[in-house]
Amino acid sequence: METAVPIQLTAPRATPASRRRMLKEKLIAAGITAVGFTGIAAIVLILVFVAKEALPLLLDPDARHEASFAKMFLPQVVREGRPATFMWQPVSDIPKVSMIPLFVGTLKVTAVSMLLAVPLGIAGALFASEFAPRRLREFIKPTVELLAGIPSVVLGFFALMVLATPMQELFGFTYRLNAVVAGVGLALAIVPVIFTVAEDALTAVPRSYREASLALGATQWETAWKVVLPAAAPGILAACVLGLGRAIGETMIVLMASGNAAIVSPAFGDSVRSLSATIAAEMGEVVVGSPHYSLLFFIGVELFLFTFVLNMVASLWTRRMVGRLSGKVA
């Protein structure tokens, strides 16, 4: 919009034809701006709607009693004569609504998948952009990008039916479905995300960097590891954050392959229940307007805030890193 104004000022005497053209241009600019804001409006509206449904947890005395913040985040005595624990069992005479098992579940699955996907994705991107011959590269890239198109329900099915039993035999898990199986399935979904964005970042590093490094006598490996990778660091970081966001929010794979038992334990071989899978599993049946219903929306708000904060921190970090790197170069 602002760019349109000086153009108008610099045209001293507009003919009707040029005025019409300017009007047209203005309209187009306004249209594009409106489209741009539609996206933002959609996000804001989604957050408002989701938060509105979660609001009774703060306002309604019944809901506040059934699912107070103390009950959500502090250990509770769920059976007489037992120590206080964290328990998620919202359908019950006295609902148990601790969020802690769900946090632990999401954390475990995300950790497993990131531990696998980050090294794999970045190493693959480094190979494709720096070492692979051109023909091979032109084969690898579309293939991995094709992997990104596999529906998550198919990956979940694969983890559930194909991966789970051999992995149980290999690692001796008590539970056939657990955080590791779900994490591996999830890694299949986020490797392509990380690979694609990281590869773009690596390819975007100017050729002059590589030529300068090689001219100074560095080997190809030294060039890749010490020059190209640091120069692409902001982009690679963005790739990891995108992958992390996908991992936290991904539902179907985790729902199918994690067993969905809300256990609080440090063991990765235990079954887990994640935040997103809880919403998916329970939303279909819940009585609209009940505390349980508000609780599920509250989980949605939490997920939203997690990814929002994560993206913000990452973009700040990326900006700072770009500044530092370009400062060093100049």
Strand segments, DSSP code E, in 54-194 are: 88-89, 96-97
Q: Which residues contact 179 (CB under 8 A, 6 or more apart)?
A: 105, 108, 109, 112, 258, 268, 269, 270, 271, 272
92 binds another protein (CB under 8 A): yes
Paired residues of 97 in beta bridges: 88
Q: Which two tokens stand for residue 114?
A: 């990131």
CB of 251 to another protein, least distance (A): 13
CB of 289 to another protein, least distance (A): 11
Question: Residue 101 is inside which H or E element, if any?
Answer: helix 100-126
Closest CA to 291 of 132, 57, 53, 45: 57
Nearer to another protein, 1 or 170 (CB): 170
Contact with another protein (CB under 8 A) among 8, 38, 68, 165 = 165
Closest CA to 274 of 167, 165, 185, 158: 185
CB of 259 to another protein, least distance (A): 4
Mask of contacts with another protein, 4-43, x by CB under 8 A?
Answer: ----------------------------------------
* Tokens 């032109």, residue located: 138
Nearest 5°: phi and psi at 97? -125, 30
CB 181, CB 257: distance < 8 Å = yes
* Residue nearer to another protein on the CB measure, 86 or 195: 86
Restricting to residues 277-306, name those near another protein by CB under 8 A.
Answer: 281-282, 284-287
| 60 counts as binding another protein under rule CB under 8 A | no
The smaller minimum CB distance to another protein, of residues 2 and 80, is found at 80
Which one, 8 or 165, has the nearer CB to another protein? Answer: 165
Identified binder of another protein from the candidate list 25, 47, 64, 85, rule CB under 8 A:
85
The one segment of 115-123, 132-140, 226-234, 267-275 that binds another protein by CB under 8 A: 267-275
**4, 34, 91, 150: residue in contact with another protein (rule CB under 8 A):** 91
Question: What DSSP string runs through 9-59?
Answer: HH-SS--HHHHHHHHHHHHHHHHHHHHHHHHHHHHHHHHHHHHHHHTHHHH
Question: Using CB under 8 A, which of 57, 72, 87, 247 touches another protein?
Answer: 87
Return d(Cα 111, Cα 181) in angstroms, integer: 12
Q: Binding-site residue total for another protein (CB under 8 A)?
A: 34
- Binding residues among 186-215 for another protein as defined by CB under 8 A: none
Does the protein bind another protein through residue 152 (CB under 8 A)?
A: no
181 lines the binding site for another protein (CB under 8 A):
no
The DSSP secondary-structure symbol of 150 reads S
Interacting residue ranges for another protein, rule: CB under 8 A: 78-79, 85, 87-93, 96, 101, 164-165, 174-177, 255, 259-264, 270-271, 273, 281-282, 284-287
